[in-house]
Chain A
């Protein structure tokens, strides 16, 4: 397979659409648990179907990632930045899969119906149990913070590549 300087169109579209969704999810999630206003209801109603959409799209994305070869990192990139790049991408993929599944399982363990609006209801992922609920709920929060920090590092690294190194890494995802 030929190595291209840019990511393929499916990979780019998935990246930017999911980026918007995930950043929205992180802000919605942290906002809804810190609000007693009407926002709480609205945000919860968005959070659940949007999370399921992320789960569906990340499955597509993993297939796209496996079937296509991404552009290589610049050859002169220091080894530790290479490790950080691959490691953080792995963490981001893992969280994109884990967060929706934990959210879904957490609601199931709490005995809540997992409703997505419009009468759509998902089956319970695990049986109702308060101890399972508590651990999953704590994990959902801690991993959300990790997700946000990893996103921040990813964002900072992208800006570093685009503004300081100017090495084509950002162009590879922008696609021009």
Chain B
């Protein structure tokens, strides 16, 4: 083998001394430890998506293979969103132009139990996936409440821990719940709202709030902080309360109503003013803020969630088109990370990956 013609041959005497072996071992171990720390194995105190989803799973009464770990009970809906051009002054997103965009949506009940009675919780949710002709998507997960109870993933995890059922009684420990809300005054607006909230007997008469703030970005690159919500046009039966006697009233109701005709919502976009909190979902913005009617959501078809088009959609609210960006709200990153974990769990159950729960006759 030909060697380079430099004066010293590259083949030198083997290096001696224990420090050389120690240096090799130390360098390799150092890299491995850094990897272990970044990956969380050596940082057990860190709040990970895995821990949040584990907590949701516990709160939902254990594993229901194939189902979402939160908002497990739901129904697929489809239709379209028809923009009117009004929001295009603030965002280049294609959906706000005067065009129709197909929508795959899902109404659901918060919580991880797919068999929970509809009267068990006063909140309903609506998730939407809009897909533009060029493949750009806008996914949003909205809830029928104006504020979120907590502002951070850490507080959300603490809330899950404090409100989980006590194994002895099957109910949350009132002392722990009291201690949690005592330590989290930011939940005040939510508690005030929930006091007067009744579990609606219909998905279609509810308003659904995006909760987290986002930025709209216009053609010049200017960012405007916004929050959005959809407000129903149909009001008949609004205020009717789901009772324990009809545990599945919501799906029956939405199926009957859509069979009778398309159901519609206005998409309202509220513009923040300087000083309005854009990173705190526990705080509402003042009522006098400018609100734009950006278009109409029309839902005209219902399908069961175990066979409908919403089944395999992860409604990650950070899947956004050009013209919409995430804000600094810490819940958004946490939602994205936790939804991905939940999505992996339920698709792994579907695929029969070793080590996960088997899909039973439960279906999804």
User: Chain A residues in contact with chain B, CB under 8 A?
Assistant: 2-6, 26-27, 30-41, 44, 72, 74-75, 110-113, 119, 121, 123, 128-131, 133-135, 137-138, 148, 152, 155-156, 159-160, 163-168, 171
Q: Are B24 and A160 in contact (CB under 8 A)?
A: yes
Contact partners of A121 in chain B: CB under 8 A: 134-136
Residues of A with C-beta under 8 A to B347: 110, 130-131, 133-134, 137
Contact A38 B330 (CB under 8 A): yes
- Excluding A35-B46, A171-B10, 10 further A-B contacts by CB distance (< 8 Å) are A3-B1, A33-B340, A35-B49, A36-B338, A40-B336, A41-B332, A111-B312, A130-B347, A135-B353, A164-B21
Contact A34 B38 (CB under 8 A): yes
A44 to B291, CA, bound (A): 32
Q: Which A residues are in CB contact (< 8 Å) with B40?
A: 34-35
Residues of A contacting B136 with CB < 8 Å?
113, 121
Q: Find the B residue at minimum CB distance from A76.
A: B11
In the complex, A162 Cα to B20 Cα: how many Å? 10
| 26 pairs, A vs B, C-beta closer than 8 Å | A3-B1, A33-B337, A33-B340, A33-B341, A34-B46, A34-B50, A35-B48, A36-B48, A38-B328, A41-B326, A44-B336, A110-B314, A112-B314, A112-B319, A113-B319, A121-B134, A121-B136, A130-B312, A134-B350, A159-B23, A159-B28, A163-B20, A163-B23, A165-B14, A166-B13, A168-B3
Of the stretches B29-37, B186-194, B203-211, B230-238, the one at the interface is B29-37
Contact residues of B between 339 and 364, Cβ < 8 Å to A: 340-341, 343-344, 346-348, 350-351, 353
**Known contacts A3-B2, A155-B28: A30-B38 contact under CB 8 Å:** yes
Given contacts A36-B153, A163-B15, A166-B14, contact A152 B28 (CB under 8 A): yes
* B256 interface hit (Cβ, 8 Å): no
B31 contacts which of A4, A34, A123, A155 (Cβ < 8 Å)? A155
Across the two chains, which residue of chain A brings its CB closest to B5? A5
Q: For residue B337, which residues in chain A have a CB less than 8 angstroms away from its CB?
A: 32-33, 35-36, 40
User: Who on chain B is nearest to A118 by CB?
Assistant: B322
Please tell me if the beta carbons of B137 and A113 are within 8 angstroms of each other in the complex.
yes
Interchain CA distance A3-B27 in the complex, whole Å: 32
C-alpha gap A110/B347 in the complex (Å): 9
**B353:A152 contact, CB within 8 angstroms:** no
Q: Once bound together, how far apart are the Cα atoms of A83 and B90, in whole Å?
A: 61
Chain B residues positioned under 8 Å from A133 (CB to CB) = 312, 347
Q: How far is the CA of A116 from the CA of B322 in the complex (A)?
A: 11
The one of A6, A112, A168 in contact with B11, judged by C-beta atoms closer than 8 angstroms, is A168
Q: Which residues of chain B in 134-157 are interfacial with respect to chain A, using CB atoms and an 8 Å cutoff? A: 134-137, 153
Which residues of the other chain, A, contact B134 by a CB distance below 8 angstroms?
Answer: 121
* B196 located at the interface, meaning its Cβ lies under 8 Å from any Cβ of chain A in the complex: no
How far, in Å, is B188 (CB) from chain A's closest CB? Answer: 24
Question: B322 to chain A: which residues have CB within 8 Å?
Answer: 119
Kindly list chain A residues whose C-beta atoms are within 8 Å of the C-beta of B340. Answer: 33
Nearest CB of A to B18, in Å: 11
Nearest-Cβ distance from residue B229 to partner chain A, whole angstroms: 23
- The answer to whether B24 and A41 have CB atoms under 8 Å apart is no
Residues of B within 8 A of A32 (CB): 337
A156: which B residues are within 8 A, CB to CB? 24, 27-28
In the complex, which of the residues B10, B319, B341, B353 contacts A168, with contact meaning CB atoms closer than 8 Å? B10
Contact (Cβ within 8 A) B344 A134: yes
A129's closest neighbor in chain B, by CB?
B312
Within 8 A of A (CB), among B51-74: 52
Q: Whole-angstrom distance between the alpha carbons of A175 and B52 in the complex?
A: 49
Task: State the CA gap A4–B326 with chains docked (Å).
Answer: 53
> In the bound complex, how far is the Cα of B11 from the Cα of A35, in angstroms?
47
